[in-house]
Amino acid sequence: MNLTKSINKIALLFVVGIMMLSTIWFAFANPDPVAVAAGGINITNSTHKLTGHPGNISVLAGNITKVTMNGYSQTQSWAGVVGKIKANLTLGDASSKKLYNWNDASPKGEIYAIASGSTPHWTNSSLTCYNLSAYGSALNTLYGIGSTDADRANATFSTATGHTLFYAGPVRFALNACPSTQLFATGGAANAEFTEVLLRDSVAAKPIFVSLLANPVANQGYNGKTYDFEMLVGEDGHGNGATSAYNFYVELQ
């Protein structure tokens, strides 16, 4: 029997679960991030901010009433995904039979989200930091965002925010090289543990949203719960009511 062929029959698989308001199962094969398996998502919750009760004042004919009003409007350009990672390193075969299994209680790595229909190209020539100066307008247009809107892409992601060094497949991204943002922890303040980076697949001409896995601190998520990651993904919700589908990938280090 050819020795090379015999060796090639052996595969190392990571079997990983993600809970991100859903439960996801997929296999991980080095070196590239691996896709979430089709049909492996079970959404457990999806919610949005309600409008609440209207305020009121009493007015009197002939009077001028001076008021200061505080209001909000829910974004129509971004959706949020939060969750936890349950990771196992497995030695198994093509039929998913396991020879041995290792639990990873504190997984490190990244979660990637890219619009369905696009397959990321995990190469140095195609995967780059998202250049907002060159492609920011196109990104805004993709999600129906106006150039002066408060939630425009270049107001959401900035190279001034900063991120740690990380790898996307074989591609190295240096400290603070790419546009990034920090999502909120308990108390409504940005937190470096929930850092998200914006990449671009130049072959597919699509953005890739990357959440760097946090060092989870109990009850420190945006809503007081414990999460390994929080992230934003673009979603054009300007009046059409349609949803956007995303493929998710994971890379553990």
Backbone phi and psi for residue 138, each to the nearest 5 degrees, phi listed first:
-65, -35
The pLDDT score that the predictor gives to residue 13 is 29
Percent of the chain whose pLDDT exceeds 90? 48
Question: Going by C-beta distance under 8 Å and a sequence separation of 6 or more, which residues neighbour residue 81?
Answer: 20, 21, 113, 211, 230, 231, 232, 233
pLDDT digits (tens, 9 = 90+) for 179-213: 999 999 998 999 999 999 999 999 999 999 999 98
pLDDT digits (tens, 9 = 90+) for 121-149: 999 999 999 999 999 999 999 999 999 99
- The gap between the terminal CA atoms of the chain, to the nearest Å, is 34
Residue in the block written with tokens 């790419």: 178
The pLDDT score that the predictor gives to residue 34 is 63
Closest by CA position to 194, among listed 173, 167, 168, 223:
223
Q: What is the mean pLDDT of residues 242-247?
A: 90
Ranges of each domain in the chain: 10-44+77-252
Task: Band the pLDDT of 19: cuts 50, 70, 90.
Answer: very low
Cα separation, 28 vs 16, whole angstroms: 7
The pTM (predicted TM-score) of the whole model is 0.78
